[in-house]
Structure 1
Amino acid sequence: MSACKRVRLAEMLEDVFAVLKRVDAVCFDVDSTVIREEGIDELAKFCGKGAEVANLTSQAMSGSMTFQEALDLRLNIIKPSLAQVKDFIKISPPTLTPGVKKLIELLHSRNIPVYLISGGFRSIIVPIADQLKIPHSHIFANRLKFYFTGEYAGFDENEPTSKSGGKGVVIQQLKAKHSFRNLILIGDGATDLEAAPPADAFIGYGGNIIRPTVKAKAKWFVTDFNEIYNVLVNLNNI
């Protein structure tokens, strides 16, 4: 690595650390970040549509189609019933990524609010938030709709998270409402990367899956939540 490139990398890290020192809110992506799985892929497998949906998820995360297009296509393949969603949550609960609980506990101990902003489904994310002691009001995600018979009826297209750029919209709303000035977003995908700005800093996460575009463009890219935890604990020494 050239000296010029090393200097540039150091400057990018300093940019993120400067925000981290004054952080007043942290937003996490959920799928492949807070949890190890991609929730929609796992739901698809549970409903017998796994292979068809996984490829579309990869395209959505790489930014090769709009998020709303990918969400609509995937859900129309799965067509999950209310009963299937309930059974999925009960039988196949998602797995927390190692280190994320400890990191969020540290943030909470410092009275730093934590938000979950996801292109996944609120009904699946609520139990995750409960494990992490994150208020339900701090969840921003998509809502599935069902007919009175329990059959799939679509998703709420009014949710910002159902569209490309939706995470940025949520972050703008949070900053306007709470006057956050040093908000950090942590995530693995293109929809996370594009939300900074308005997020004041972005940390790319690759502990579950590495998205090459995110790794290349993130000012700070980590594969272990302990990296962030250790920096937070030792900020005064940086």
Structure 2
Amino acid sequence: MGSVVEQTLLIRVTGIDQPGITAGILRILAEARAEVLDMEQVVVRDRLNLGLLIAVAEEQAPLKDLLFFGWERNLHFDFEVVDPPEDLPAPSRFAVTVIGARLGPEALGGVADAIADGGGNIERIVRLSNYPVISYELIVMGGHTDTMRKGLLEASSLHQVDIALQREGLARRAKRLVVIDMDSTLIRDEAIDLLADEVGNGAEVRSITEATMSGRHDFESALRDRVSRLAGMDVARLNAVASRIRYTPGARTFARTLRRLGYRTALVSGGFDVFAEEVRRHLGIDIAHANSLEVADGRLTGRLVGDVLDGPAKARLLEEIAAAEGIPLEQTVAVGDGSNDLEMLAKAGLGIAFNAKPVVDAAADTTLKVPYLDAILFVLGIRRQDIEAADRTDG
């Protein structure tokens, strides 16, 4: 009796998707005593693309049965004899997230060129969203990190799209804590600028705020200077300011989805606790830390209570919250826009600059310029259709 000759076959199946295709094919393979080595399937606009890698004895290769099954179902089968898979060390894998108001072939081609020029090979592409922005996730095998990052930055600038490059693996999929700035991040305003409007100092305070967030002023001294200009303000007017706060588009979806997925969330702000607590309550965020305004006889004194919550303090709070929650730093995400967020972004496992100043964009792991806070969910690999399905389920 001769030895059994085994061959490795790559089977590609295309056609209109319908229930029972995968089950029927696997049933035929089981009858042929084939071994499934790999299998991937994707459906685009009801068109099936199924790939199977099998090992099977040559005399038992079920080609006729599969072709007959395809004829019955109006499917096209393609067979290719390939070399058996080698037991080699797995190459590095990366996730490239591309986000934009429009993603045409020019922008996506620029991303693909940058990946190829860096030695990477695109293994899989998945659309994450088509609203409020379009986004895709590309899983890349191999490649030189720095070369790909440089090329992707150039593509991002040229095509005006946001691109995030992360190592794909458990660390990316296991994020558990998000620490986020408040002013110009969770909300569209700088609260101190709104307070200054109430006492007629809005223009000059805004100028100081802009310079401070861009890294041109020391944060603590600039904050104390601006707070001093609020001296004498009736605390009752704080409620009027709180009523004018505008939430960043997507903030509610962002916070609601993270809560649903079991993330812990913390608001860490260089602004003021009277507003931070209101934002925390409104969005359902777990923890809030911010500076405290000193009050005497129902009026602001123009001073702060306690130490200033500046950049280093934000980074320390991230560490302390993570430790208290039992979450390793590599499983944390920090989001901010100003120079006082730099230390926090550097400390987190993933630092995201959201519509940030140039000094922050240059230092962050990932930058987003789209005006929707929930676009951060796409960077985390969360699909819009899953968000919407969960919202519908919860009513």
Match of 1:197 in 2: 346
Cα distance, 1:215–1:150 mapped onto 2, change above 3 Å: same
Q: CA deviation at 1:7?
A: 0.5
Cα distance, 1:164–1:111 mapped onto 2, change above 3 Å: closer
Rounded to whole Å, the distance in 1 between the matches of 2:334 and 2:279 is: 18
Q: CA deviation at 1:189?
A: 1.1
| 1:115 partnered with 2:266 | yes
Q: CA deviation at 1:50?
A: 0.3
Match of 2:247 in 1: 96
Match of 1:133 in 2: 284
TM alignment of 1:53-202, pairs within 5 A = 53-79=205-231, 80-89=233-242, 92-135=243-286, 138-152=287-301, 154-159=303-308, 161=309, 163-181=310-328, 182-202=331-351
Q: CA deviation at 1:175?
A: 2.2
The C-alpha deviation readout for 1:196-233, integer Å capped at 9, x for no partner, is 33222101101xxx411122222211123343223432
- Structure 2 SS opposite 1:65: coil
Rounded to whole Å, the distance in 2 between the matches of 1:132 and 1:146 is: 27
Rounded to whole Å, the distance in 1 between the matches of 2:169 and 2:230 is: 42
The C-alpha deviation readout for 1:79-128, integer Å capped at 9, x for no partner, is 23323323322xx4311101121111111001111110000111012221
Rounded to whole Å, the distance in 1 between the matches of 2:282 and 2:225 is: 31
Q: CA deviation at 1:17?
A: 8.1
Q: TM-score, length-normalised on structure 2?
A: 0.53
Higher helix share: 1
Cα distance, 1:177–1:36 mapped onto 2, change above 3 Å: same
CA contact 1:66–1:164 (8 Å) conserved in 2: no
Rounded to whole Å, the distance in 1 between the matches of 2:196 and 2:169 is: 38
Match of 2:149 in 1: 8
- Structure 1 SS opposite 2:335: strand
Q: Which moved more, 1:19-28 or 1:117-126?
A: 19-28
Q: TM-score, length-normalised on structure 1?
A: 0.85
Amino acid at match of 1:227: A
Match of 1:219 in 2: 365
Q: Which structure 1 residue ranges, 4+ long, deviate > 6 Å from structure 2?
A: none
- Structure 1 SS opposite 2:183: helix
CA contact 1:19–1:201 (8 Å) conserved in 2: no
Q: Which moved more, 1:69-78 or 1:1-10?
A: 1-10
Cα distance, 1:150–1:173 mapped onto 2, change above 3 Å: same
Rounded to whole Å, the distance in 1 between the matches of 2:199 and 2:260 is: 39
Cα distance, 1:164–1:186 mapped onto 2, change above 3 Å: closer
Match of 2:190 in 1: 38
CA RMSD of aligned residues (A): 2.5
Cα distance, 1:96–1:18 mapped onto 2, change above 3 Å: farther
CA contact 2:164–2:367 (8 Å) conserved in 1: no
Cα distance, 1:189–1:151 mapped onto 2, change above 3 Å: closer
Q: Which runs of 5+ in 1 are unaligned?
A: none
Cα distance, 1:17–1:74 mapped onto 2, change above 3 Å: farther
Rounded to whole Å, the distance in 1 between the matches of 2:168 and 2:178 is: 13
Cα distance, 1:62–1:18 mapped onto 2, change above 3 Å: farther
Cα distance, 1:46–1:215 mapped onto 2, change above 3 Å: same
CA contact 1:117–1:140 (8 Å) conserved in 2: yes
Aligned length in residues: 226
CA contact 1:82–1:152 (8 Å) conserved in 2: no
Q: Which moved more, 1:35-44 or 1:147-156?
A: 147-156
CA contact 2:193–2:205 (8 Å) conserved in 1: yes
Cα distance, 1:86–1:12 mapped onto 2, change above 3 Å: closer
Q: CA deviation at 1:42?
A: 1.2
Amino acid at match of 2:215: G
Higher strand share: 2
